[in-house]
Amino acid sequence: MPIEIERFSPRHTAVVVVDMQHDFVARGAPLETPMGQALLPTLQRVLRHARTSGMRVIYTAHVHRPDRSDLGLFGEIWPAIGEGAALVDDTPGVEVIPELAPHPGEIVVKKHRYSAFFGTDLDLILRSNDIDHVVVTGVTTENCCHATARDAMFHGYRVAFLSDATGTFDYPDRGFGAVAAEEVHRVTLAVLATSTAHVMSADEFIQRTKVE
């Protein structure tokens, strides 16, 4: 049976905003993700709801050291990262875009891989705050959001994946035909809904919040 979340208790829920950074979301950015720009109004509404209801809001930022000593295979997979043109720690490109700027006291977890749990203290932060439900938003659907949702489920969290507050980019032909961002997004949602999370819209998430 797919995972079903009937109600969210704000005291035990965290909204995770994945990688909404300049290097991913700004127009003309090295790793531009156009769907990330389109989802901004929806994600802003989700964050207003989370904050007013008392949920935790946690951001992630994908970064690499300036000397590129922590790249692993990312330098090969993503030339912009390998060349130091994107995701260099302590540069403007890795900052969260101003439309979604963290509020005072909200944590930004720096990560070096797709998953926000891999090599970070995110699990410790969540458990220390009695969080048992994780709401995934941001970019990209099939990479960092997907990996974070999977790892959250592996760690025992009940995961909500917001279909209209996540997004991705077009995929080029690598021998299997080019794939439009909307199709990558749709198929990833279908996979997650079957194996990992309760995939729902922002409106559904808001409607399922328990008043406390």
User: What is the tens place of the pLDDT at every residue in 108-146?
Assistant: 999 999 999 999 999 999 999 999 999 999 999 999 999
Assess whether 110 carries a catalytic annotation: no
- Work out the average pLDDT over 78-103: 97
Instruction: Give the DSSP H or E segment for 133.
Output: strand 133-139
Catalytic entry in 19, 23, 151, 164: 19
Task: Find where tokens 């875009």 sit.
Answer: 97
Assess whether 111 carries a catalytic annotation: yes
pLDDT grade for 65, boundaries at 50, 70 and 90? very high
The angle formed by the CA atoms of residues 109, 75 and 30, to the nearest 5 degrees, is 70
User: Does the structure show a pLDDT above 90 at 11?
Assistant: yes
Please state, as a whole number, how many other Cβ atoms lie within 10 Å of the Cβ of residue 7: 11
User: Does the structure show a pLDDT above 90 at 66?
Assistant: yes
pLDDT grade for 2, boundaries at 50, 70 and 90? confident
- Work out the average pLDDT over 32-52: 97
pLDDT for the residue 175:
97
pLDDT grade for 211, boundaries at 50, 70 and 90? confident
- Work out the average pLDDT over 150-157: 98
Q: What is the percent of the chain where pLDDT is above 70?
A: 100
pLDDT for the residue 191:
98
- Work out the average pLDDT over 188-208: 98
153-191 burial by CB neighbour count: b if 16+ within 10 A, else e? beeebbbbbbbbbbbbbeeeeeeeeebebeebbeebbee
Instruction: Give the DSSP H or E segment for 146.
Output: helix 146-154
Task: Share the mean pLDDT of the chain.
Answer: 97
- Work out the average pLDDT over 3-20: 97
**What are the CA-CA distances from residue 42 to residues 142, 191, 206 (Å)?**
19, 22, 11
102/95 Cα distance (integer angstroms): 10
- Work out the average pLDDT over 101-114: 98
107/105 Cα distance (integer angstroms): 6
Catalytic entry in 23, 144, 151, 164: 144
Q: What is the percent of the chain where pLDDT is above 90?
A: 98
User: Does the structure show a pLDDT above 90 at 4?
Assistant: yes
Q: Parallel, antiparallel, or unpaired for β 198-200 and 108-111?
A: unpaired
27/84 Cα distance (integer angstroms): 19
14/17 Cα distance (integer angstroms): 10
Catalytic entry in 23, 70, 90, 111: 111
179/162 Cα distance (integer angstroms): 21
- Work out the average pLDDT over 193-209: 98
Assess whether 144 carries a catalytic annotation: yes
Structural domains in the chain? 10-207 (3.40.50.850)
